Structure 1
Amino acid sequence: MALTLRRGSRRLTFSVLSAGAGFFAMLQSLITPVLPTIQHDLHTSQNTVTWVLTAYLLSASIFTPILGRVGDMVGKGRMLVVSLAALALGCLLAAVAPTIGVLIAARVVQGIGGAVFPLSFGIIRDEFPVARVTSAVGAMSAIVAAGGGLGVVLAGPIVATLDYRWLFWIPMVVVGLTALAAHLFVPESPVRSPGRIDWRATVLLSGWLVALLLPISKGTDWGWTSGRVLGLLALAVVLLTGWLVAEIRSTNPLIDMRMMRLPGVWTTNLVALLYGASMFSVYAFLPQFVQTPTVAGYGFGASITQAGLLMLPMLMAMFVAGILAGRLESRFSAKAQLATGAAFNVLASAMLTVAHDTRWEIGVAGGLVGLGIGLAFASMANLIVSNVPARQTGVATGMNANIRTIGGAIGAAVVSGVITAHPQAGGLPREAGFTLGFLVLTGLSLAAMVAALAVPSGRRAAAHHRAPAPVAAERSEAPDLVPAAAGR
């Protein structure tokens, strides 16, 4: 069915949001399988090339909540265009990067695009009728989840057919056109949160995120007991404490701590932390497992393309589960979906622990992981959206995405340490390392499931929900969903 090319068309708005969020999610995983290729082409070391991932992670962790808050203040549509333009510019710089330093700088610019997640959820809440918000958020979450999985699948064929620079050229073209479409067709937000940026809180937030994520990401290379790692972790604690104090005392907080203390918010964020730890580890280490040469006594010696194809069941399952999640919420609550998604992850990780000798076992386990991710992404987003005032949707969903990223960094670091602790004579990990790693993922998934059961039910969440403070001239906040486009 053709889209109506007019400003405010819900279908066109959703298509634009989906393209931006989907390609940002894809860029999170698209580069991982080809790091050795980039290392060889740009004549750099293995330690240096990992900054292509680390720089992206750090940049996105900083800009996602901050630009989500700015969008709540000055307009989500406006900041969506800024974020997409930055993402397209970063892709252009990466595509032509002559040195590893330029490529790392380009990835920092790309990280600004992380704000498309909270901004997209906020625009959906502002522009869609109340009855359609849940299904739209679920569908958007499915696209985000599938985008991350699609990156693993597409990386091999693109590099084999063209070269790794097309991993940036293709997103640049699509994201650039998406930014133009967002400017032309996505309506500006009717819901605003007046105020100004608290720069002290912004600097403290950026500081503790970098001080936490940098040693977690580089701990294996630097040594977990090294002065750099321990010093940065200590600095993270100090800066986090300072940030919390500054936000609590501020009359115009960057992130309202009263909002973060809402039962439906902090419990969902706890699940995001634990779920991110297991999810990102599967993305990172399942392809590595299947690419392990058979001379190691396990693995399948798969190429990058073959490893991507083995991930297809996971990709398809997460997309279908995410699409169905929002539509099923009237019968199958977001809390129930979140717990069920975590349970699928428990089952998949437990299966990988004891059964990983054949391709069909990897495919089935990947499918279960996909079902879990699809349900969890959609339900987490809906739980956050339904538990915060409309004026704080951007910053709240941005922090949820950030906490999931922090969990992913922690989980990947822990599982990497477990897998590589006792390598074989040739340097390859032992099968026992992967087995223990999958067991750790089972424990993380089980903890996420228990945390999901602590999320307040719909009635309890509604009873606990309190808007932090009324804002003059703000539109109706009962129940804080603004059907601004209902008449369109």
Structure 2
Amino acid sequence: MTNPLETRTDGAVETPSAARPATYSRLVLPAMAANVFLLSMIQTLVVPALPLIGQQLHTSATTVGWVATATMLTASAVTPLFGRLGDVYGNRRIVLSALLVTLIGSVIAATTHTIGLLIAGRVLQGASFGLFPLAISVLRKELPIARLHHALSITASALGIGSGFALVATGVLTQHGADYRRIFWLSVVLTVAVLALAAKALPRRAGQGGRVDYLGALVLGSGLVALLLPVAQGHEWGWTSARVIGLFAASAVVLAGFGFLQARTRQPLVALSLLAHRPVLATNLASAFVGFAMFSVFLGATFFVQTPRAVTGFGFGASVLRTSVVYMLPGTVLAIPLGPMAGRIVTRYGPRVVLLGACVLGVAALAAMAFLHGNSVEFIVGLVLANVAVAVAYAAMPALLVTHVAPHETGVANSINSIMRTIGGAIGTAIVVTILTSETVLYRTPAGPLALPTEWAYRTAFLLGGAAFTLAALLAAFGFKRSGH
């Protein structure tokens, strides 16, 4: 029986001995997991600190929102390009280049005192998003097949760990209104460490050669920026505004043009047949839904636990520090051993079964958060289970893609999957913020009137996350051929 990891989508069979070196560095896996941890941390680090950044730079909420949006827009433009560059020129060169650009952006963000330069630094930090597909490509090329599922799960689970760590670190570093630049100095230190580890661990191997479709990358990046920009700014601009509607229409036209262009390019950036392949399509859609659920958990929980119970009758009135340590830290700590555990489960039962189980757990966790939040203990349990669901779901996805795509398509396939996760997270963030800012009640407090989200607004946000997990579970159940796990 042919190992699915050795089977290409066109039916040809890889020869493991030809595709992989006889020996490999044991630092490759920790280096690639560290890269993924770093990009996830950079993505999430600013989210809890946006109000503080606005206060310290005397900037409006609309302007400071670009600190979060900037990296997402860069990611949409560079992620598929980096995946292809790694295949053509060699992963080591592109990984180190992406880390160097990330480091420059981190230094700018840590030293500037103007919002414009801060946003510019965040634009450069967005290069880190290209590290995920590059990491998956490195693992596929460098590790023996017997260790691959385990390694992919550990690396992918670092996505959830990095996000959880970022929420905790931001809370600790910015408590009592401390200088927000501390969080960017943290990213500087970690980027230097990851850069040194990657330089030592990654072997100097030539790429497979070929052509890079720069025009296709430009068109795809433009279409994705036009899609993500109104998603990220829609709650500020107005969902029915001319800018939002115009950008959505432009994205549809540009992305359709991208498909037309790729169908007529000899060496396209993305083979359309790859995107249409049922298991790849199902994995990408599941990634978007889990990304949506992840941010409905993180944002909804962060705001909910800080809601003053004495005023509203719900919430826990937690400080930023208590939010980070008491509520967010347990899920982050538990996610650390989940990577190796998920890897063993994926190897034994297959990634489809693991993805399905994680999404079912996510549905139960979000339902518990929506209806069982009367005390801290039960809410923390629900939050921990939601973190577990996210970490395990993402641990299964690279194995699903590697099972169903050819080696030379690994970088691009995981690039698209990474973009889908970004799109899902952006949509989740936009919808949760819209719900929490539109469903409010004006409370009278000693400090004056205070508008806060209703309990039903939080319930809605958590239930929408549960619905996203449900859709991902249906994809895991029915979107793959059973013989391919």
TM > 0.5: yes
**1:419 matches 2:443:** no
Contact 1:78-1:183 within 8 A present in 2 as well: no
Contact 1:126-1:189 within 8 A present in 2 as well: no
Deviations 1:183-209 (A, max 9, x none): 3431134662x3222232112111111
- Higher mean alpha-carbon deviation, 223-232 vs 58-67, is at 58-67
**1:297 matches 2:321:** no
**Structure 2 partner of 1:429:** 453
* Aligned pairs for 1:20-419 within 5 A: 20-160=35-175, 163-189=179-205, 192=208, 194-294=209-309, 295-309=311-325, 310-419=327-436
Deviation, structure 1 residue 282: 1.1
What SS is found at the alignment partner of 2:348? coil
Deviation, structure 1 residue 438: 1.7
What SS is found at the alignment partner of 1:301? coil
What SS is found at the alignment partner of 1:330? helix
What SS is found at the alignment partner of 1:424? strand
Q: Name the CA shift for 1:176/1:396 in 2 (closer, same or farther; >3 Å).
A: same
Contact 1:118-1:397 within 8 A present in 2 as well: yes
**Structure 1 partner of 2:462:** 438
What SS is found at the alignment partner of 2:147? helix
Deviations 1:108-148 (A, max 9, x none): 00001111111111111111111001101111112222011
What SS is found at the alignment partner of 2:54? helix
Unaligned stretches of 5+ residues in structure 2: 1-22, 443-449
Between the aligned partners of 1:444 and 1:178, the Cα distance in structure 2 is 33
Contact 1:145-1:374 within 8 A present in 2 as well: yes
Give the counterpart letter for 1:244 in structure 2: G
Q: Name the CA shift for 1:214/1:189 in 2 (closer, same or farther; >3 Å).
A: same
Q: How many residues align?
A: 453
**Structure 1 partner of 2:446:** none
Taking only aligned residues, the RMSD between alpha carbons, in angstroms, comes to 1.7
Between the aligned partners of 2:96 and 2:393, the Cα distance in structure 1 is 28
Give the counterpart letter for 2:358 in structure 1: G
Deviation, structure 1 residue 225: 0.5
Contact 1:318-1:373 within 8 A present in 2 as well: no
Deviation, structure 1 residue 284: 1.7
What SS is found at the alignment partner of 2:331? helix
Deviation, structure 1 residue 79: 0.3
Between the aligned partners of 1:186 and 1:444, the Cα distance in structure 2 is 37
Deviations 1:87-127 (A, max 9, x none): 11111000011200000000000001111111111111111
Give the counterpart letter for 1:325 in structure 2: A
Deviation, structure 1 residue 9: 5.3
Deviation, structure 1 residue 256: 1.2
Between the aligned partners of 2:336 and 2:80, the Cα distance in structure 1 is 25
Identical aligned residues as a percent = 35
Between the aligned partners of 2:180 and 2:134, the Cα distance in structure 1 is 30
Give the counterpart letter for 2:102 in structure 1: L
What SS is found at the alignment partner of 2:221? helix
Give the counterpart letter for 2:452 in structure 1: L
Between the aligned partners of 1:146 and 1:27, the Cα distance in structure 2 is 12
Between the aligned partners of 1:181 and 1:440, the Cα distance in structure 2 is 39
- Higher mean alpha-carbon deviation, 63-72 vs 414-423, is at 414-423
Q: Which aligned runs of 4 or more in structure 1 are off by greater than 6 angstroms?
A: none
What SS is found at the alignment partner of 2:174? helix
Deviation, structure 1 residue 173: 2.3
Deviations 1:343-391 (A, max 9, x none): 1110011111211121112111111112211211110111112211111
Deviation, structure 1 residue 176: 2.0
**Structure 1 partner of 2:475:** 451
Give the counterpart letter for 1:388 in structure 2: V
Deviation, structure 1 residue 38: 0.9
Q: Name the CA shift for 1:234/1:46 in 2 (closer, same or farther; >3 Å).
A: same
- Higher mean alpha-carbon deviation, 449-458 vs 102-111, is at 449-458
